[in-house]
Structure 1
């Protein structure tokens, strides 16, 4: 696969969702602006197929479906809201190439803006399949917006860890994941801005570098120390940190609290860091299906994927 163009913007689509149950006008405006930029980039190339999806924020929002229809009308992109299981399957598809010989299971976590997805994966004969998944309505944006909760204080941070760990423990009891991890052959994998930031800090990178992060097997003790270092920085320090920056400073510690809960429920000696996820899974699925199907005539507008969350 050769990437010919890439575009990413932090739109915070789920901003205010927890309080109102709906997407806000400002958030929808930011998302539409970003989607228009994506559409303009796509129209410059001879596309055969477009896959564009929306995830948890639109699943939760009372006006999520209406927003998606509005976005379709304005941009021409064939957007659709995907269920949590499909989101987990796409993340699995993108990350399973990072598994190694001897890995019979994988526990994949994706800490998003409006939710956290956990995928429990079976690997047999080079093929990965989804055993189970859970989507928790706890993400970095929703937690950052909670009244009377501040992850910048030890008490607030621990409150989030306790809440997330309790929810994860229920999923663990269903699938006996902790028992499987103690038996060996289970790889802990993370795909999200939280875990890639922890890796960047642990490696003391002067600036974030995807080639140095994607597929990195990070010692969990080093990741835990990176978490402590980020917590000690405070808001101003996070804004100026080269692996964080002002756009993401408010969301790093809520993400770290979710990561700490994952570590509490499922202790592991290392975590594989994936700077890949939903978008790469979409691309891989399209290329696989394209290879199996008759070639289609080109759109007037090659393959393009646009996830929205």
Structure 2
């Protein structure tokens, strides 16, 4: 992805409590300009737990706010959106429904991301705004439905966790306030015990790493620091941008003892957050206590900044661009975990891309940067299922690709990669297949084309000896010619590729002819 002219991009984070918009102009000199950022409370997760279903009222609020934010972004010149949804949509059985409805109304696709990917983006957003270099630090983000806990340095995260602990979730399921909104000491004890139980394993992992510094993001932590800065007992000792565990403990006692209406008037506390702030404070305090860290530095960067950094990391003109992207590293890591034949995998990638680009030149379909990348990763991982069993390994490949966290990808991309790998052998995609049937018409067509190219590439290395050096399509009037060049006898590959002629015709409505071109042919 190259930047030939300035581009205005909008980044949207649809969370459990609020939706955030970040609009930036990417400049051709490798810099970017912040144009606007907005945050609106929508309480998408309100009433969701424990039924795991978004309420109609919450959905209406979300759609109304997102529609307005998209209109605002477009008025600022946004030509591309990167939009994700987190815990509330991820866990709700109708979360995907909400995203599809928003796409129908606005044309903007919102991708639901995994908890691990959410944690990675938070780390990326916060770590890119601080200077810790090789020092490992703890990163905490307390959302409405989940809390992300990360350990990492400036360059790479070593622990990525998403816990089902959030300010809205904890309030709705564990806090039963008194009539006036006060929260009793007994309730506080009950909530603390629950949090301790949820974090015991991750806290133990963190303690053995001897991490001493913590950074916090999210509205909950920012709000708590703001309250502390104006809370009289701490006004003379509070350090701006830092929140100590002693301050947290005092605020928990203070805020929980206030009636809800009085809590809404606390300086620095948004009234819309008054009913969930105690739960957020308890979560933060217990994590710091369990990891033996005395306080937390507060950052105003978060997931949306991670989306920005992740986006520009793929643009060569930007200094953040990586030699090897997190997506590619994640794919290679899964391949190594499953002990794939890396030489064969790399050769299948090479052949798949030769077929892909020559098919575009032959006008079989139009180029899409996204589909090229999906094919590349599916080709590399197509045989990971053999780690479980050779029999039906294409189905096992789909399972591993979609169940093992692939960092840097949203759930839609993971599903597409998994399906392309799933159909690289045996049965072709069928409309009644689950989850193939859940895709839109365009996505189903993409899977059919990419999986066909992968099937053909696999047949062109049937022997696993990398004998085919080149395989490319060309158009010959009303038919397509596949020209194949070999470095040694490849009769097995020629026999295998013949079996795909019928599928090729059904896919492109053009007959396929196969010819052998000697390598020294000019």
Measured against the shorter chain, the TM-score band is 0.7 to 0.9
SS at match of 1:132: strand
CA distance in 2, matches of 1:196, 1:47: 28
Match of 2:207 in 1: 178
CA distance in 2, matches of 1:64, 1:257: 28
SS at match of 1:276: coil
TM-score (norm 2): 0.50
Deviation at 1:269, TM superposition (A): 2.5
Match of 1:120 in 2: 151
CA distance in 1, matches of 2:131, 2:186: 38
The question of whether the paired residues in 2 share the 8 Å contact of 1:239 and 1:249 is answered with yes
Match of 1:131 in 2: 158
The question of whether the paired residues in 1 share the 8 Å contact of 2:134 and 2:155 is answered with no
Deviation at 1:98, TM superposition (A): 4.9
Q: 1:147 to 1:178 in 2, by over 3 A?
A: closer
Match of 1:149 in 2: 176
Match of 2:250 in 1: 225
1:240-296 deviation digits (Å, cap 9, x = unpaired): 123113211111011111112112211223311112211111122223333458xxx
Deviation at 1:101, TM superposition (A): 4.8
Match of 1:34 in 2: 65
Report the structure number with the largest CA radius of gyration: 2
The question of whether the paired residues in 2 share the 8 Å contact of 1:103 and 1:187 is answered with no
Deviation at 1:87, TM superposition (A): 0.8
1:203-262 deviation digits (Å, cap 9, x = unpaired): 1189xxxxxx9x823343334333333333331222112311321111101111111211
Match of 1:19 in 2: 50
Q: 1:46 to 1:222 in 2, by over 3 A?
A: same
Deviation at 1:141, TM superposition (A): 1.1
CA distance in 1, matches of 2:132, 2:91: 38
CA distance in 1, matches of 2:33, 2:166: 31
- Structure 1 residue 249 corresponds to structure 2 residue 278: no
1:129-160 deviation digits (Å, cap 9, x = unpaired): 12122222221111222266348111112211
Higher relative contact order (CA 8 A, sep 6+): 1
1:17-37 deviation digits (Å, cap 9, x = unpaired): 113221111001000011101
Q: 2:91 aligns with which of 37, 56, 60?
A: 60
Deviation at 1:186, TM superposition (A): 3.2
Q: 1:195 to 1:45 in 2, by over 3 A?
A: closer
Deviation at 1:8, TM superposition (A): 1.3
- Structure 1 residue 92 corresponds to structure 2 residue 123: yes
- Structure 1 residue 201 corresponds to structure 2 residue 230: no
CA distance in 2, matches of 1:275, 1:146: 28
Q: 2:294 aligns with which of 269, 294, 309?
A: 269
Q: Structure 1: where are the runs of 5+ without partners?
A: 207-212, 294-309
Q: 1:283 to 1:20 in 2, by over 3 A?
A: same
Q: 1:281 aligns with which of 270, 289, 306?
A: 306
Q: 1:233 to 1:195 in 2, by over 3 A?
A: same
CA distance in 2, matches of 1:72, 1:205: 44
RMSD: 2.5
CA distance in 2, matches of 1:270, 1:97: 21
The question of whether the paired residues in 1 share the 8 Å contact of 2:138 and 2:150 is answered with yes
CA distance in 2, matches of 1:146, 1:172: 23
Match of 2:399 in 1: none
CA distance in 1, matches of 2:189, 2:195: 10
Q: Structure 2: where are the runs of 5+ without partners?
A: 1-31, 233-238, 319-522
SS at match of 2:168: helix
How many residues are treated as equivalent by the alignment?
278
CA distance in 2, matches of 1:45, 1:148: 42
Match of 1:209 in 2: none
Q: 1:97 to 1:224 in 2, by over 3 A?
A: farther
- Structure 1 residue 140 corresponds to structure 2 residue 167: yes
- Structure 1 residue 189 corresponds to structure 2 residue 215: yes
TM-score (norm 1): 0.82
Deviation at 1:171, TM superposition (A): 1.6
CA distance in 2, matches of 1:265, 1:136: 15
Deviation at 1:103, TM superposition (A): 6.3
The question of whether the paired residues in 2 share the 8 Å contact of 1:111 and 1:194 is answered with yes
